[in-house]
């Protein structure tokens, strides 16, 4: 009888970004980062171990379609690591459903590999703590280490495989919501791993980025502890702009923005000028996320829908960590 496990994980949006690795093989980041796990658009993943000795490879589906190419190779490489740790030779069928666009800079890899980690660990019999699951998820996708946990989460850069994992942060009363403007749901032209590698290797601004991020994290943690929304939002917006400036310094430049992205950033600035306090953040894609107080989220979403025809606008508060079904 085959063994099967199903897990659910939610995407997270970094308030203080992760961009660049100091060790690609171990997926160790150049700096720490800090994020909010969302309460919407989860990934649900089922891992079923094969009991057929003739099966000689992992297979998978994503949103009902057969995984191929790089997507399948990443899953297979990750499951090789799980098999090694579990002392198993079983191959698996992985069936995953993303409720958010895949590969568009909307944290689908974070939720995807967090769900895969939890389901695979259960199916292969790994009795791991949350910190150990987070460190394992990091090997599939760096930001997946954060989606193991709910709410506000810090990814500790660590010094080795075991110490680079996420931790959940205390939140003494800060209520945050995110409005996600899906300006372009398609896959980006350059994936995050390649873009990071290019930035690290060629951007003269990267060393300044590495120096600044730890200061941003400490300031953000102080702002969270003080429940200071203005400080949280302004720090997050500044950090996101610095990350994209660092990418633009690469050779050739890495540019994820498009004209709609710029218009969305302008709209956030206009909303602030009009008296609705909100702040923008962007990841490795053209889509813009708006950090706001929970009471303002629906009005901001309506404004985006009126300014941008035909786009999806999602609203989310804080969400849970990954869990088994």
Residues 6+ apart with CB under 8 A from 81: 136, 139
In a shared domain, residues 102 and 157: yes
- The residue among 114, 142, 172 that closes a domain is 172
Q: Is the pLDDT of residue 44 over 80?
A: yes
| Strand 92-98 relative to strand 65-66, pairing | unpaired
Q: Is the pLDDT of residue 104 over 50?
A: no
In a shared domain, residues 181 and 299: yes
In a shared domain, residues 267 and 299: yes
CATH of the domain at 285: 3.30.70.890
Mean pLDDT is lowest, of 101-105, 132-136, 198-202, 217-221, for 101-105
Number of domains observed in the structure of the chain = 2
Q: Is the pLDDT of residue 1 over 60?
A: no
Interval 57-68 mean pLDDT: 94
In a shared domain, residues 212 and 143: no
Using 50, 70 and 90 to split pLDDT, how confident is the model at 102? low
Domain annotation covers residue 138: yes
pTM: 0.95
Domain annotation covers residue 278: yes
Residues 6+ apart with CB under 8 A from 165: 131, 132, 134, 135, 138, 145, 155, 156, 158
């Amino acid at each position: 009888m085959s063994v099967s496990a199903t897990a659910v994980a939610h995407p997270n949006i970094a308030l203080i970004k992760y961009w660049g690795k100091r060790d690609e093989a171990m997926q160790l980041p150049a700096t720490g980062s800090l994020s909010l796990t969302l309460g919407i658009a989860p990934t649900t993943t089922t891992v079923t171990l094969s009991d057929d000795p003739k099966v000689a490879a992992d297979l998978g589906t994503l949103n009902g379609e057969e995984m191929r190419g790089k997507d399948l190779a990443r899953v297979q490489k990750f499951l090789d690591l799980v098999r090694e740790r579990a002392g198993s030779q079983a191959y698996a069928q992985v069936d995953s459903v993303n409720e958010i666009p895949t590969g568009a800079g909307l944290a689908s890899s974070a939720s995807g590999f967090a769900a895969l980690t939890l389901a695979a660990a259960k199916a292969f019999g790994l009795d791991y703590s949350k910190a150990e699951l987070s460190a394992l998820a990091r090997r599939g996708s760096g930001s997946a280490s954060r989606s193991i946990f709910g709410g506000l989460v810090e990814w500790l850069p660590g010094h080795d495989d075991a110490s680079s994992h996420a931790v959940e942060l205390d939140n003494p009363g800060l209520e945050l919501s995110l409005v996600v403007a899906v300006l372009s749901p398609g896959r980006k032209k350059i994936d995050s791993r390649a873009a990071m590698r290019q930035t690290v290797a060629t951007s003269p601004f990267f060393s300044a980025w590495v120096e600044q991020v730890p200061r941003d994290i400490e300031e953000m943690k102080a702002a969270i502890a003080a429940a200071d929304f203005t400080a949280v939002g302004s720090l997050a917006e500044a950090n996101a702009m610095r990350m994209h400036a660092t990418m633009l310094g690469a050779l050739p430049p890495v540019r994820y923005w498009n004209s709609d992205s710029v218009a969305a950033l302008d709209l956030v600035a206009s909303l602030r000028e009009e008296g609705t306090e909100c702040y923008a953040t962007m990841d490795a894609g053209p889509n813009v996320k708006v950090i706001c107080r929970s009471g303002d989220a629906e009005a901001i979403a309506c404004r985006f829908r009126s300014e941008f025809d035909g786009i999806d606008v999602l609203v989310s508060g804080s969400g849970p960590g990954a869990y088994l079904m």
